[in-house]
């Protein structure tokens, strides 16, 4: 069967080539000849036996006949039932046996053709397993991911539980750990509210007591007066505890909260005091000590020295102002009167000195010498307004440092004013 | 000072705990007063406690001195007192600088006046 098919295909290719070469007249002859051949089939067989050339002609004719029948069968009778009908038809038209044998070969060929589609159906079944296989691994992956998440949650819970246990013990001894303890309480509340409530209450009691003791000690160190206030606070806390004995949980929570607030307020106060102490240390020159007592001592000494310098400067400024104002007020007076008037300003600075020493305030100068004070205030305002004067003031600071360091400088200030008077006297005498 | 304060806190924290645990507030208060009286009489002598008390007394004395020097310091607390001292120091420094500038200027004016007058 298969062999016949292959041969047929080869013949088909050859026949197509020949037809393209031959004209239409040959086709007509072939048809006519076919009719003759059909009618004279026995004669052709006898001739073939006798001659070799007839064999080639018979082969060609047989190929053409097969082709025509195949086309007819495909178009008119594709199913299996057809071979019976064409047989009857051929019997009516053709009396010979040869056409009966040939259609049988034709029927076999169409059977082979449907086989490839059946083969195609099989590979269709092949792709079915891959889609079936895909969903199971997806589900497995999801399961594995959920498992991983569960393990992560377990690890998180374990880590949270650990620091709470570790932090609870040292918190009783040190306040620094209290922060971690508070954090651990929060974590416990988030995870297990029931367990956290009981543990939080018990730990809160001990923690509150420790905090109160520490707070009381620190307050005592700062001031004695505040000790009384602390005692009153303690009595109040004790009364609260007695009243709340029935509700230990609520009482313990309140105590812990109050203790925390108190600790925070005290910490803030200490921080402020420390900051102010540092500021004072920076202001005071040549102060390298860190103790509170030493810093306070140096601050007190520095304040006293500054006050003394101010007094000396006010005295000097008063004398200078008086001396300067005298010639301005009396420019055109005779020499004798000028000398007398010079003596009078010598007496003037004594009065402000006495006032300063007695009251140690400025109003004395204002009462006796309003004009001079006004002049000084006006000039002072001008200097403050001017920018370059500020620079001069900044430059003067190192001089202040030198004077503070050397007490001799202060003494030199006083004699410096005296020689000016002597010079004035000598010039006037000349 | 922080270390010494910490040690003082730890030492002081131990005595009151047994009193509070054993007896009520009233009895605890009485015992505390008794302890103070005993300390005052000097029947019980402890070098560490005495040293701490001396340091605290020194600090308090110095704070009182500052209150007397600074104007309006007696009515202020520790925080405010330190602030006032800092601001007072700055004010004094500014006044001193201003007076120096004025004195130099006035001296120059005197010299000029003498020249014109002479």
Please report where in the chains the tokens 């803030």 appear, as a residue.
A268
Q: How far apart are CA A266 and CA A260, in angstroms?
A: 10
State whether B89 and A306 contact (CB < 8 Å): yes
Would you put residue A140 in left (φ > 0), alpha (ψ -120 to 50) or beta? alpha
Q: In angstroms, rounded to a whole number, what is the distance separating the alpha carbons of residues A307 and B93?
A: 10
Site from A268, A281, A320, A374 to mutate, B interface, most B CB atoms within 10 angstroms: A320
- What pLDDT is stored for residue B53 in this prediction? 56
Determine the distance in angstroms separating the CA of B43 from the nearest CA of chain A, rounded to an integer. 22
In the block, tokens 């004594």 appear at A350
Residue A260 domain flag: yes
Residue A261 within any structural domain of the chain:
yes
pLDDT of residue A306: 87
Best mutation target among A174, A299, A377 (most B Cβ atoms within 10 Å) is A299
CB atoms B110 and A313 under 8 Å: no
Please give the Cα distance from B40 to A216 (Å, whole number).
21
Q: What is the CATH number of the domain that holds A264?
A: 4.10.280.10
Partners of residue B60 in chain A, C-beta under 8 Å: 223-224
Tell which A residues from 220 to 249 touch B, by Cβ distance under 8 Å.
Answer: 220-224, 231, 234-235, 238-239
CB-based contact B110 A324, cutoff 8 Å: yes
Is the separation of the CB atoms in A291 and A276 below 8 Å? no
Q: Which of residues 275-334 of A touch B (CB under 8 A)?
A: 276-277, 279-280, 283-284, 290-293, 296-297, 299-300, 302-304, 306-307, 309-310, 313-314, 316-317, 320-321, 323-324, 327-328, 331
For residue B112, the chain A residue with the least C-alpha distance is: A324
DSSP A281-349: HHHSTT-----HHHHHHHHHHHHHHHHHHHHHHHHHHHHHHHHHHHHHH-TT--HHHHHHHHHHHHHTT
What pLDDT does residue B70 have?
A: 85
Quick one: three-class SS letters along chain B? CHHHHHHHHHHHHCCHHHHHHHCCHHHHHHHHHHHHHHHHHCCCCCHHHHHHHHHHHHHHHHHHHHHHHCCCCCCCCHHHHHHHHHHHHHHHHHHHHHHHHHHHHHHHHHHHHHHHHC
In a domain, residue A300? The reply is yes
How far apart CA A166 and CA A160 sit, in angstroms, is 11
- Count of structural domains within chain A: 1
State how far the Cα of A91 lies from the Cα of A83, in Å rounded to an integer. Answer: 12
- Report the C-alpha gap between A400 and A409 in whole angstroms: 10
Q: From first to last of its 430 residues, what are the pLDDT tens digits of chain A?
A: 444 444 444 444 454 444 444 444 445 445 555 555 554 444 444 444 444 444 444 455 555 545 444 445 555 444 444 444 444 444 444 444 444 444 444 444 444 444 344 444 444 444 444 444 444 444 344 334 444 444 444 443 343 333 333 333 343 333 434 344 434 444 433 443 433 333 333 333 334 443 444 444 443 444 333 333 434 444 444 444 444 444 455 677 777 878 878 888 887 777 878 877 878 887 887 777 677 788 888 898 888 888 888 878 767 666 555 555 555 444 444 444 444 434 444 434 433 443 333 444 334 343 344 444 444 444 444 444 444 434 344 434 444 344 443 344 333 333 433 343 443 344 443 4
Q: Is residue A349 part of a domain?
A: no
Please state, in angstroms and rounded to a whole number, the distance separating the CA atoms of residues A373 and A255: 63
Question: What is the per-residue pLDDT for A34?
Answer: 52
Q: Tell me which chain A residue has its CA closest to the CA of residue B98.
A: A393
Q: Crossing angle, helix A178-191 and helix A193-222, to 10 degrees?
A: 160
Contacts of A227 in chain B (CB under 8 A): none
- Whether A73 is covered by a domain: the verdict is no
Separation between Cα atoms, residue A192 and residue A287, nearest integer Å: 56
Domain of A304, in residue numbers: 253-315
Radius of gyration of chain B (CA): 27
In chain A, what residues touch B117 (CB-CB under 8 Å)?
327, 331
Q: A 339-378 residues with CB below 8 A of B? A: 376
Structural domain includes residue A210: no
Q: Is residue A306 part of a domain?
A: yes
Contact predicate B34/B42, CB 8 Å: no
Q: Identify the CA nearest to A318 among candidates A386, A369, A272.
A: A369
Distance (Å, whole) CA B63 – CA A411: 31
Distance CA A131, CA A138 (A): 12
User: CA A41, CA A55: separation in Å to the nearest integer?
Assistant: 13
Question: What does the alpha-carbon distance between residue A362 and residue A340 come to, in Å, rounded to a whole number?
Answer: 29
Per-position b or e across B84-116, b if 16+ CB within 10 A of its CB: bbbebbeebbeebbbbbbbbebbbebbeebeee
Q: How far apart are the first and last CA of chain A?
A: 163
> What CA–CA distance (Å, rounded) separates A284 from A363?
29
Interface test with B, best of A206, A317, A426 (most B CBs within 10 A): A317
Res A35: pLDDT: 52
8 Å CB contact of B103 and A320: yes
Residues 6+ apart with CB under 8 A from A191: A157, A160
**3-class secondary-structure state, position A180:** helix
**Mean pLDDT to the nearest integer, B4-8:** 43
d(CA A152, CA A157): 9
| Residue A396, in any domain of the structure | no
For residue B38, report the phi and psi dihedrals to the nearest 5 degrees.
-60, -40
Residue to mutate among A206, A211, A223, A225, with most B CBs inside 10 A, is A223
What is d(CA A251, CA A246) in angstroms, rounded to the nearest whole number?
9
Instruction: Give me A254's structure tokens.
Output: 């309140």
Distance CA A203, CA A206 (A): 6
Contacts by residues B19-22 (CB-CB < 8 Å, ≥ 24 positions apart): B20/A209
């Amino acid at each position: 069967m298969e062999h016949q098919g292959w041969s047929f295909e080869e013949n088909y290719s050859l026949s197509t080539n020949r037809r393209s070469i031959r004209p239409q007249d040959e086709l007509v002859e072939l048809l006519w000849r076919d009719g003759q051949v059909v009618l004279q089939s026995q004669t052709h067989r006898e001739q073939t036996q006798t001659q070799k050339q007839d064999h080639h002609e018979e082969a060609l004719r047989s190929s053409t006949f097969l082709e025509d029948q195949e086309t007819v069968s495909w178009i008119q009778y594709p199913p299996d039932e057809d071979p019976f009908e064409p047989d009857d038809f051929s019997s009516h038209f053709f009396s010979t046996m040869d056409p009966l044998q040939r259609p049988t070969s034709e029927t076999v060929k169409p059977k082979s053709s449907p086989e490839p589609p059946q083969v195609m159906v099989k590979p269709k079944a092949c792709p079915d397993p891959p889609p079936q296989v895909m969903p199971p691994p997806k589900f497995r992956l999801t399961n594995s991911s959920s498992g991983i998440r569960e393990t992560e949650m377990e690890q998180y819970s374990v880590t949270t539980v650990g620091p709470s246990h570790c932090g609870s013990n040292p918190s009783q001894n040190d306040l620094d750990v209290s922060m971690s303890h508070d954090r651990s309480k929060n974590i416990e509340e988030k995870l297990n509210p029931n367990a956290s409530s009981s543990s939080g209450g018990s730990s809160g009691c001990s923690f509150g007591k420790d905090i109160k003791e520490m707070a009381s000690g620190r307050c005592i160190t700062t001031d004695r007066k505040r000790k009384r206030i602390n005692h009153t606070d303690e009595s109040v806390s004790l009364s609260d505890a007695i009243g709340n004995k029935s509700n230990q949980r609520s009482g313990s929570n309140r105590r812990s909260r109050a203790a925390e607030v108190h600790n925070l307020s005290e910490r803030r106060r200490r921080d402020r005091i420390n900051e102010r102490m540092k500021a004072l240390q920076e202001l005071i020159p040549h102060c390298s000590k860190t103790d509170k007592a030493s810093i306070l001592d140096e601050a007190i000494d520095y304040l006293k020295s500054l006050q003394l310098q101010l007094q000396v400067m006010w005295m000097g400024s008063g004398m200078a102002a008086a001396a300067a104002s005298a010639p301005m007020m009396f420019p055109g007076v005779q020499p004798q009167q000028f000398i007398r008037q010079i003596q009078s300003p010598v007496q003037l600075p004594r009065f402000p000195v006495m006032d300063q020493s007695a009251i140690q305030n400025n109003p004395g100068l204002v009462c006796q010498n309003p004009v001079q004070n006004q002049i000084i205030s006006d000039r002072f305002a001008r200097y403050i307004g001017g920018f370059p004067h500020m620079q001069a003031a900044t430059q003067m600071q190192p001089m202040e440092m030198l004077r503070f360091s050397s007490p001799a400088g202060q003494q030199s200030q006083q004699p410096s004013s005296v020689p000016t008077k002597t010079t004035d006297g000598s010039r006037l005498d000349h | 000072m922080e270390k010494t304060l910490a040690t003082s806190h730890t030492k002081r924290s131990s005595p009151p705990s047994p009193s509070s645990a054993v007896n009520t507030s009233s009895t605890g208060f009485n015992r505390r007063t008794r302890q103070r009286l005993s300390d005052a009489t000097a029947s019980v002598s402890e070098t560490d406690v005495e040293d701490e008390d001396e340091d605290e007394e020194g600090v308090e004395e110095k704070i009182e001195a500052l209150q007397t020097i600074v104007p309006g310091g007696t009515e202020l607390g520790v925080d405010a007192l330190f602030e006032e001292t800092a601001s007072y120091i700055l004010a004094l420094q500014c006044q001193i600088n201003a007076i120096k500038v004025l004195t130099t200027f006035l001296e120059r004016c005197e010299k000029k006046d003498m020249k014109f007058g002479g």
